A = this chain, B = another copy of it.
Amino acid sequence: MRATTIHAPRDIRVSDVPEPTITAPTDAVIKVTAGCICGSDLWPYRGENDIDAGATIGHECVGVVEEVGSEVTSFKPGDFVIVPFDHCDNTCAHCRAGMQAACENLGFTVSGQAEYALVTQAEGSLVKTDGVPDASLVPSLLTLSDVMATGWHAAVAAGVREGGTAVVVGDGAVGLCGVLAAATMGAEKVIAMSRHEPRQAIARQFGATHVVAERGKEGAELVKEITGGVGGDAVLECVGNDAAMQQAFAVARPGSTVGFVGVPHGVELPIRRMFQKNIGLAGGMAPVRQYLPELLKLVQDGAINPGLVFDKTLPLDQVAEGYRAMDEREAIKVLIQP
């Protein structure tokens, strides 16, 4: 099959690789309808993570079940499914506690930007749509495999409450989905910290009531003004680097929680401030499967339209151009059609 592979920093290719096959009774093979590029794919692209030269890349996709292992009974070929990037059995103690990201049989999608993808725990992981969805719904459904579920997790971890205030640090696709999550959960004020006009516009469409373009102390002061002098009741850190983390703690009110979902790179937590101001940190890799039923309903009901984060669509052959566009912040998030 044709699949996206990475060979070195900034060396993304489309290669012929073997199709995934069923090797365990819990497996399923998915014919990918749409995949996409994640902000976290840019870490190896930029040479900041190790690269296994020639390996496939891409962990987000939706598609149609092609084949299932003998223990997969709830899904059959032809079903349209959302594939959580983190596969789980949904029966172990961690899954039962709602923490599917720590499943004892955790697996990951590794060829989401390709013609086919393997799910290692299909029965526990997949969620199917009501029939084959209209093409117009596919982008929003695709976001549920990671980015929207991750933004949602940031809001859950930060403890967003109805009537409260929420601040979102980071205007990448995850941050924008965090804005949508906070607004959907009923936060009265949703403050998007963003300097880029096209992203600010999407943030507003997603429910941001305020946009703060300033950063550092100046940005923190503005957030304080908007929040009646106290800071955000809930803060979503949706980047993963140190600057974003410091910003998040700077805008968080005493007693609140920073919800973080970006894979941390070079972050030094401000433990003194955390202690003195009782600002907690919660979050991590999103337990996508936990949120899928709820998010799928919101998408199918038309209550949320997270697919708006895709501002570029490319055929698989041009996936390298998608990486370039995201790396240079020309595109927010790129959808890939195999």
Which of A263, A275, A277, A283 has the most chain B CB within a 10 Å cutoff? A275
A103 to chain B, nearest CB (A): 9
Is A222 an interface position by the 8 A CB rule?
Answer: no
What's the interface size class on A, roughly? 35 or more
How far is it, in angstroms, between the C-alpha of A287 and the C-alpha of B229 when the chains are bound?
A: 20
Flag whether A98 is at the interface (Cβ < 8 A).
yes
Given contacts A94-B255, A254-B101, contact A274 B281 (CB under 8 A): yes
Contacts of A287 in B (CB 8 A): 255, 278
**In the bound complex, what is the Cα–Cα distance between A277 and B285 (angstroms)?**
8
A98: chain B residues within 8 A (beta carbon): 255
From A45-53, A128-136, A197-205, A264-272, give the one contacting chain B: A264-272
B264 touches A282 (CB 8 A): no
Q: Which A234-276 residues have C-beta < 8 A from chain B?
A: 253-255, 257, 260, 263-264, 267, 269, 271-272, 274-276
Residue in contact with A283 in the complex, picked from B94, B254, B278, CB distance below 8 Å? B278
Taking A275-B284, A282-B282 as given, write out 8 further A-B residue pairs in contact, using a Cβ cutoff of 8 Å, ordered by the A residue number: A101-B278, A257-B282, A264-B272, A267-B271, A274-B281, A276-B284, A278-B283, A278-B285
Q: Which residues of A approach B to under 8 Å, CB–CB?
A: 93-94, 97-99, 101-102, 157, 228-230, 253-255, 257, 260, 263-264, 267, 269, 271-272, 274-285, 287
